[in-house]
Structure 1
Amino acid sequence: MAVLTEYTPCIELDLCGRRWHLERAASLEALWETMGDDEFGEDERLPYWTELWPSSIVLARWLFANRASIAGKRCLDMGCGLGLTALVGSWLGARVVAMDYEPLALRFASRNAAHNNVPEPLWAVMDWRCPAVRAGACEVVWGGDIMYERRFVEPVLTFLEHALAPGGVAWVAEPDRAVYAHFRTQLESRGWQSARLVSEQTEALYEQPVPVTVNLWELRR
């Protein structure tokens, strides 16, 4: 992936043996400036979805390397943003439900399915505090960089406990944030097992002084 020096309306990257084209609305800063005061309430609907984060790159590579484990399976992308990992999963033959809190994110994710000639996942506007999938519906759940505040830990875990089928697996990619240590503590207290599968330095979309360290974890009950 070429490191960007300025905003581009389309991100192009070579990943998983092919080229991907991701259309997006605007830069994070530009969308932030258009937000009204009502959007800075408890939920803080900040437009993080318009960027492609290093965790998504690592997670997409993992899906590709483990495509036999997801082909034909009922899978859920938990916070799909621009749709990259949902599209990779669908391209690899998974039956993907891709959820996001922001309807605009899903509009661009759907466009990106068309841009990349990938079967459309089932796009779902969903709040993980109010699951819109039946209990135990998903054999595999994945998410990239979905926890960046401690207040997300309990609802994310509760959602996983609701959505994941018995014997299912969750893959969570995160950029070595301190909040994940709290998440792991809560995992253990609620009977989950976790193992770090990957820890690698990954270039961010925009140039940074050092690469981002991304960890990918496997969660089971």
Structure 2
Amino acid sequence: MNQLSEYAPRLEVPLCGRTWTLDRAADLETLWEAMVDDDLDDDERLPYWTELWPSSLVLGEHLFANKEAITGKCCLDIGCGLGLTAIIASWLGADVIAMDYEFEALRFARKNAALNNVPQPVWTLMDWRFPAVRAQSVDLMWGGDIMYETRFVEPVLTFLDHCLVPGGRAWVAEPNRNVYNEFKAQLDKRGWMSHKLRTEKTTAIYEQPSKVTVNLWELSR
């Protein structure tokens, strides 16, 4: 990937043997500065969705490498953002529900699916504290860099419990954040198996001195 030295409203992302076109809003810093006090409620609705995080790149490649595991399966993308991993999975033949907490993220994600000529996932405005999917109905779930605050640990664990079919799996990519240690400890307490599939150094979309380390985990019961 050619790294960017400044913001670009359209990204061309080479991944999984093709190039993906992703449109997005202003960069994170610009959107953050434009926020008013009313936006900063208890949920701190910060516009992280407008960036393409390294964890999503690692997840996308993992989906591509595991096409047989997702084709024809009911899959749920947690915090889909610009939609890259949901779009890749849909291209690979998965039945994808893609959720985000922000409507604007879903608007761009839907546009991006059309730009890349793939079947539209079911784009869903959802709060993981209030699941809008049937209990034990999802075969596979995944999320990229979703565990960045301690307050997310309990609701995400409960969400996983609610959604996955018996024997279902979840893939989580995370960039070595300390909070993931707490998440993993709680997984262990609840009887989940947590297996690190690999650690990868990947290139961020913006120029920076070093690559980003991303861990990819598989969670199951």
State the TM-score bracket (shorter-chain normalisation).
over 0.9
Q: Which runs of 5+ in 1 are unaligned?
A: none
Instruction: Give the aligned length.
Output: 221
Deviations 1:51-95, CA, capped at 9 Å, x for gaps: 000000000000000000000000000000000000000000000
Matched residues in 2 for 1:86 and 1:155: separation? 22
Match of 2:149?
149
Q: Secondary structure at the match of 1:169?
A: strand
1:130 aligned onto 2:134:
no
What letter corresponds to residue 160 of structure 1 in structure 2? L
What does 1:103-122 correspond to in 2, within 5 Å?
Answer: 103-122=103-122
Cα shift at 1:2: 1.1
Cα shift at 1:207: 1.4
Matched residues in 2 for 1:180 and 1:66: separation? 24
Match of 1:46?
46
Match of 2:84?
84
Matched residues in 2 for 1:2 and 1:137: separation? 39
Match of 2:16?
16
Deviations 1:111-153, CA, capped at 9 Å, x for gaps: 0001000100000000000000010110000000011011111
Matched residues in 1 for 2:97 and 2:26: separation? 25
TM superposition score normalised by structure 2: 0.99
What does 1:173-192 correspond to in 2, within 5 Å?
Answer: 173-192=173-192
Matched residues in 2 for 1:72 and 1:217: separation? 22
State the superposition RMSD in angstroms: 0.6
Match of 2:29?
29
Cα shift at 1:205: 1.3
1:94 aligned onto 2:91:
no
Match of 2:210?
210
Matched residues in 1 for 2:54 and 2:182: separation? 21
Deviations 1:138-193, CA, capped at 9 Å, x for gaps: 00000000110111111111000000111100000000111111100000001100
Q: Secondary structure at the match of 2:97?
A: strand
Cα shift at 1:3: 0.6
Q: Secondary structure at the match of 1:14?
A: strand
Cα shift at 1:97: 0.1
Q: Secondary structure at the match of 1:30?
A: helix
What letter corresponds to residue 88 of structure 2 in structure 1? V
Deviates more, 1:65-74 or 1:30-39: 30-39
Cα shift at 1:6: 0.3
What letter corresponds to residue 130 of structure 1 in structure 2? F
Q: Percent sequence identity over matched residues?
A: 67
Matched residues in 1 for 2:8 and 2:214: separation? 24
Q: Which runs of 5+ in 2 are unaligned?
A: none
